[in-house]
Structure 1
Amino acid sequence: MVYLETSRLILRDWLSADLEHFCKMNADPDVMNYFPRVLSSAETERFYQVILAEFKEYGFGLYAVEEKRTKEFIGFIGFHRATFESDFTPCIEIGWRLKKNAWGQGYATEGARACLEYGFKNLGFSEVVSFTAEINKPSVNVMKKIGMKPVKTFLHPRVDQDSPLKKHVLYQTRK
């Protein structure tokens, strides 16, 4: 099922053929630079199953993103129910991860804007958050471009204490 289309992107259900590309993307050290580590194929397959389960349970999730012109799978953009222990969870998070060859073209911003509009108009969201490691300036810039406002910094409970990724920023937008 196609959920959203922009001028250059299709945000759709995941296909089994996407899994191989998803594994390669999550094994790329550049793509995973702002995450604790690259993911093995088994870890990516588990993540893929979590994504599919969220769609079944909630009717939304992290949409597979395809570049319209080439039909190439380039990553995901969409929503996730964040449930780790924090004063702002559980919450609806918007997130994105794109293959390196899709960077710098405005795809994350384009897809995230379309997702926010869809989430507020069609899914009934009243508030959406996004968070990332404070040092992840590219994602922080996307958050700003899609109209999100900074709320606070926090120490992510699922990141090692001595990691440079421990300190996170939280951004928010409301309907």
Structure 2
Amino acid sequence: MIYLETARLILRDWKETDLEPFRRLNEDEEVMTYFPASLTYEETNAFYQAIISEIKECGFGLYAVEEKTNREFIGLIGFHRATFDADFTPCIEIGWRLKKEAWGKGYATEGAAACLEYGFTELNFTDVYSFTANINQPSKNVMRKIGMNFIGNFDHPKVKEGSSLKKHVLFHINRK
């Protein structure tokens, strides 16, 4: 099923053929710079299954993204139920992860903006959050570009003490 189309992107259900490029995406150390580690083959398989399950269970999730022109898988953009222990959880999180070749083209902003519109108008979300490591300037820029507001800092409970990724920023937007 296709959930969203933008001028240049298709956000859709996952296909088995997405798994291999998804593995390469998650193994790429540069793509995974702002995550504690790149993912192994097995970890990506488990993540893939979790994404599929969340979409089936909730009717939303992290959608596979492809470029319209060549129908090539470039990553994921969409929603996730964040349930780790924090004062703003549980919540709906919007997130993205794109392969390096897709960076700098505005795809994350384009896809995330379309997701927000879809989330507020079709899924009836009232609030959406996004968070990242404080040092992740590219994602913070996307959050601002899609109209989210910075609301604070927190230490991510799933990131080990002493890591440069422990300090996170929290952004929020509500249905207007």
TM range (shorter): over 0.9
**Which residue matches 2:108?**
108
The separation in 1 between residues aligned to 2:99 and 2:42, in whole angstroms, is 19
Q: Normalised by the size of structure 1, how large is the TM-score? A: 1.00
CA distance in 2, matches of 1:102, 1:55: 24
Equivalent-residue separation in structure 2 for 1:70 and 1:136 (angstroms): 29
CA-based RMSD of the aligned residues comes to 0.3
**Residue aligning to 1:11:** 11
In the alignment, structure 1 residue 118 sits paired with structure 2 residue 121: no
1:76 deviates by: 0.2
Aligned pairs for 1:26-175 within 5 A: 26-175=26-175
- Structure 1 residue identity aligned to 2:76: F
Distance 2:10 2:157 in 1: 33
The 3-state SS of whatever aligns with 2:169 is strand
Give 4+ residue runs of structure 1 displaced > 4 Å after superposition: none
- Structure 2 letter corresponding to 1:116: L
Question: Per the alignment, in what secondary structure is the counterpart of residue 158 of structure 1?
Answer: coil
Count of paired positions:
175
Structure 1: runs of 5+ lacking an equivalent? none
Aligned partners of 2:89, 2:64: CA distance in 1, in Å? 24
- 1:84 deviates by 0.2
State, as a whole percentage, how many aligned pairs show the same letter: 66
Please give the TM-score of this superposition, normalised by the length of structure 2. Answer: 0.99
Structure 2: unaligned runs, 5 residues or longer: none
In 1, distance between residues paired with 2:86 and 2:29?
A: 28
